[in-house]
Amino acid sequence: VSEPANRADGVATAARRDVACLPAYNAGLSAADVRERYQVTRIAKLNSNENPFGPSPRAISALTAFAADAALYPDGGCSSLKKDLSGFLGVDADRLIVGNGSENIIELACLAFLNPGDRVITLGPSFGLHEIYARAMSASVEKIEVGADLQFDLPSWWSALRTCAKIVMFSNPSNPVGCILRTAEFRDLIRRTPADSVLVVDEAYYEFAQGAEYPDSIRELDRQDRPWLVLRTFSKAYGLAGLRVGYGIASSPDVVRLLDRVRTPFNVNSAAQIAAAAALQDQDHVARSVRGIVGERIAMRRDLIERGYEVAESHANFLFIKVRDDAQLCANRLMARGVVVKPWRDPGYARYIRVSIGSPADNGYFLAVLRDVNGH
Ligand SMILES: Cc1ncc(COP(=O)(O)O)c(C=O)c1O
C-alpha cells in the first residue's frame, strides 16, 4: 500500500508548533554505522565522551548476576541506590532523584518548572538538550556565548541575570568547550541570579574537574533559599553510559516530589540501578579512570598546540579544537579513516570539533590521522 502523498505535511500540521521546529539532537554515529558506511576496520570512537577504561569490574559482576531477575519490575523509587548515594554524598536520600541518564532529569526539570514563554538562560555553545527540552516546553532560551578566550563571558552573564528568568541552567565544566566557572565566579553567579529563578547546575563532568578552583556546588547552594538542582552522572567517569543512569541533588525534598510527578514510574531500569550501586563502591576505578584520562588530555592538548591548533583549556574528558576549515568536512575526512569526532555546527563554532579523550592508542591514532588529513 502506498503512503498518502501528503503524509509528512499532515504530521507537521498536527505537531505542536514548538515541537515541529525543534532542532534534532545530534547523537552522532555508532561504531557499527561508521564501519558499515566507510568500510573501515579500525575505529577510534571519540564523539560521545565515553570512558575508555570501561565500567568497574564490580559493576560487570553485578550486571552478570542480575540477569536472572530481569522478569521483575525495577524499584521505581531507586531506594537502595539513593541510600548509597546519600551516604556517599552526605545528603539526605529524600533530596535525591535518579534518572534515565542525567539528561532525563534535565527533561523533568523543564517539564516541572517551565510555562510557555518562560525565559531560560543557558550557556552557548551548549549541551544540546539544555536548549531542546526547554524549547519543547515553549520556553524562550537565551544563550550566553563563551568569550573569544573560550571561557564563561561573565559581563554578559551579569547583564543577562538582571532580567528575571525561570531557569538558569549550564554545565560546569561546560560541554563542548570544557571551561569552568571557578568558586568565586560561581558564588557571584548565585548572588546575581534572580531570587525566584531555579538554578540547574549540570555537573556531568564533575569528577574530571576536581581541584582547588572548582566549586563545591552543593555546599555553596545549600546556603540558598531557592529551588536548585545539581546533576551528576554514571555515564562519564563511572563508564556506564550504555545503562543510562544519572542523579540529581535537589535543594529540598519538595523539588524531588515535584519532579516525581512528571517522571515515568520506572524511569531507571534494574540493571542500571544495580550496576551504579556497584560502581559507586569502586572509587579506585573512578580515580584510575580520571587520572588516566586527565593525563592523556594534558598531553594531547600540549601536542595539538605545538602543532599550531587552537585548543580550549579543558576541565573535562574532551578537547574543543579549532580546525583549518569547516568542522563537518574535517570530521568526514577523519571518519573515512575510522576516527569519529563531533563537529560543531552552531554559528560561530563551525570550525570546531570536539574530541573525547579515549585510550592512549585511540588518541595516538586520532593525532596521526588528523596530521594526515589536515597537513599539521
Ligand atoms: C553536559 C552534559 N549533561 C548531561 C549529559 C547526559 O549525560 P547522561 O548520559 O547522564 O544522560 C551529557 C552527555 O554528554 C553532557 O555532556
- Over residues 38-72, the pLDDT tens digits come to 999 999 999 999 999 999 999 999 999 999 999 99
Q: Which residues pair with 144 in a beta bridge?
A: 123
Q: Which residues line ligand 1 (CB under 6 A)?
A: 49, 101-103, 127, 171, 175, 202, 204, 233, 235, 241, 246
Q: Which atom of ligand 1 is nearest to the CA of 102?
A: 10
Distance between Cα 282 and ligand 1 center (Å): 21
Q: Whole-model pTM?
A: 0.96
Residues in contact with 359: Cβ distance below 8 Å, sequence separation at least 6, in sequence order: 52
What is the structure's pLDDT at 235? Answer: 98
- As a dihedral over the C-alpha atoms of residue 360, residue 46, residue 109, residue 157, rounded to 10 degrees, the angle is 90
Name the residue of 231, 236, 317, 319 to mutate for ligand 1: max ligand atoms within 8 A of Cβ: 236
Give the Cα separation of 112 and 180 in Å (integer). 27
pLDDT at 107 over 80: yes
What is the structure's pLDDT at 137? Answer: 97
CB 248 within 8 A of CB 99: yes
H or E stretch covering 340: strand 339-340
Q: Which residue's CA lies nearest to atom 13 of ligand 1?
A: 204
Distance between Cα 204 and ligand 1 center (Å): 6
CB 226 within 8 A of CB 198: yes
Band (2; pLDDT cuts 50, 70, 90) = very low
Q: Give the 3-state DSSP-derived string for 142-156, with helices as H, strands as E and coil as C.
A: EEEECCCCCCCCHHH
E-state strands within 81-227: 96-99, 119-124, 140-145, 167-171, 198-202
**Mean pLDDT across the chain:** 95
For residue range 326-355, list pLDDT tens digits in order.
999 999 999 999 999 999 989 999 999 999
What is the structure's pLDDT at 7? Answer: 58
Residue bearing the bigger pLDDT, 225 or 189: 189
